[in-house]
Structure 1
């Protein structure tokens, strides 16, 4: 059964592709923002208010030559936190530095030299991520930690005071060798999730909660195959996609499996469909997932029932083709990116 997609608006935002194909979207309870690189600055757009106008805020990039890292903005928009190659830096809205937390270099060669120039960009694409907690009081950062020996490489997840950058807690990640990472916060519970991609070595998935004094509910799947893709906007649960796209799962925050959904069958059973890793909650009752059909270049978007992850509708677009990946926004809409025009399209499902 199909449902028509209704175009709700078109946006032209700098670097808008990252909203759908990267980590330019930052969702919180009651807030949907685009965090997009625009030249030497980070432009922040309120997706509930933007209609092609100016950004809500802009922040100068501390290291304009560094293209890695997943950054975050405080819930009130007064500061941004940047995940750099050798530091995590918080920047106020007026461009001044609030604080900086130095760490080892993400560069892949142990002991490689540094010139002393903070703008030096070392070889390698490895990077970390940071996330401002929903209450704005802490910053969670994924960083490398290098000891005195050549083989003393490790990684850690640190909790920093958002006001001054003081380290409040540290969770060692001894089995992590990141290519990159991203983080999500769960609304209302205080939990933060860290997903570490390690290429062919697997995926690390970690959850924790800071109570103001220490870490609670720490859970680690240090080497697994599930990618963290979304958090339920109302209930204590989250979505993961199997690394190769064979299924989507809904989990409780303690890791318990609540539901599992496999892609609908294809016409050729020898070439089964797989799920893309971008998927998420269109609203509390609906998950949007993209299926990669191995003999059909356009694939398909499916609306799934949140409780069971069973497909409810295949989405039919006006052009007859599925417009690539999608970023659900949690308010009943989702975004797609049109590469030829460089614009974002915002959709909803037709009522009925």
Structure 2
């Protein structure tokens, strides 16, 4: 079945490909979306709704603390007054005026054992391994995936941890040791309930780790979902009904309850020759009842709408402009984004009324 897509908005946005092909769009439980785009020296923040209305003035322009380090995605406070950056040796909060508000130092992510730190301002070491950070939806906490040096090393000298920091001063409130992690990188998603946060850790060929946690004001309560899971966290249901994952081999999508229980599973639609294409890593909720997935990296490229509860395929999207060779980024409000690299245009779509 073919489903017609309707163009809702367009804006020319150089660099906007990172919003659909990466993690540069930060979404919060209140439905706000911030585009986090880098230039050579600053993080340029746009409110997505204002951008599509023609307001091209950034909500914030925050100087980068380490311009040469670009491996992890920063996070912005709800009011846009500051951004938090995850570096190789520190998590740093920087105001829109460039003032360093606080810094949380940690062990270096660089993979070379006993390497020397020169003290240079860039704090750049060999290696691409990195953690991540996320400002909570209420702006009170910063969640950070960091490398910690053990005070009394036994077999290992360093250990990855997920820490909760006070957003006012960077003070550590709690930490969750991640003993099984050997990260290449990670990303975090806020649950729409404003309480829970998900951490997804990629370890290359060694697989994926997935955790959920919440801070109750006194202690960090976390749970490990990795006993039977090797899956990438892609999105959280806007109505609190669970979260979406794609398996490491991209063969199927699954909807889970917060404790990891599988609620439904859906493979892609078979091609004409009976082959199953692969889902891309970027799938998510168009709204509470609809999931969008792309198969751009398979032999049958396309965009598909699925039932959000059963993950049954409803149909392939047909665009009035012809085939759209772009990843997709759903916004949870009935629309999704694509990006045209030729015209450098960010487009917002919805399903046309039948």
Normalising by structure 1, we get a TM-score of 0.95
Does residue 193 of structure 1 match 2:198?
Answer: yes
Aligned partner (choices 161, 177, 183) of residue 172 of structure 1: 177
Does residue 28 of structure 1 match 2:32?
Answer: no
Residue number in structure 1 paired with 2:59: 56
Shift of 1:277: 0.9
Aligned partner (choices 190, 212, 220) of residue 217 of structure 2: 212
Structure 1 window deviating more from structure 2 (24-33 vs 50-59): it is 50-59
Shift of 1:48: 1.3
Residue number in structure 2 paired with 1:145: 148
Residue number in structure 1 paired with 2:345: 343
Residue number in structure 2 paired with 1:312: 314
Relative to 1, partners in 2 of residues 1:176 and 1:217: Cα closer, same or farther, differing over 3 Å? Answer: closer
Aligned partner (choices 57, 67, 71) of residue 70 of structure 2: 67
CA contact (8 A) 2:280 2:297 kept: no
Does residue 221 of structure 1 match 2:226?
Answer: yes
Does residue 47 of structure 1 match 2:48?
Answer: yes
Unaligned runs of 5+ in 2: none
Does residue 128 of structure 1 match 2:131?
Answer: yes
Shift of 1:13: 2.5
Residue number in structure 2 paired with 1:283: 287
Does residue 76 of structure 1 match 2:86?
Answer: no
Tell me the SS of whatever aligns to 1:278.
coil
Does residue 13 of structure 1 match 2:13?
Answer: yes
Relative to 1, partners in 2 of residues 1:294 and 1:64: Cα closer, same or farther, differing over 3 Å? Answer: closer
Shift of 1:318: 2.0
Shift of 1:292: 4.6
Residue number in structure 2 paired with 1:3: 3
Tell me the SS of whatever aligns to 1:302.
strand
CA distance in 1 between partners of 2:45 and 2:207 (Å): 32
Shift of 1:207: 0.4
Unaligned runs of 5+ in 1: none
CA distance in 2 between partners of 1:213 and 1:177 (Å): 28
Cα deviation digits, residues 173-210 of structure 1 (max 9, x gap)? 01101111000010125000000000000001010000
Structure 1 window deviating more from structure 2 (167-176 vs 223-232): it is 223-232
Number of equivalences: 349
Give the alignment's Cα RMSD to 1 decimal: 1.7
Normalising by structure 2, we get a TM-score of 0.94
CA distance in 2 between partners of 1:232 and 1:180 (Å): 24
Structure 1 window deviating more from structure 2 (121-130 vs 5-14): it is 5-14
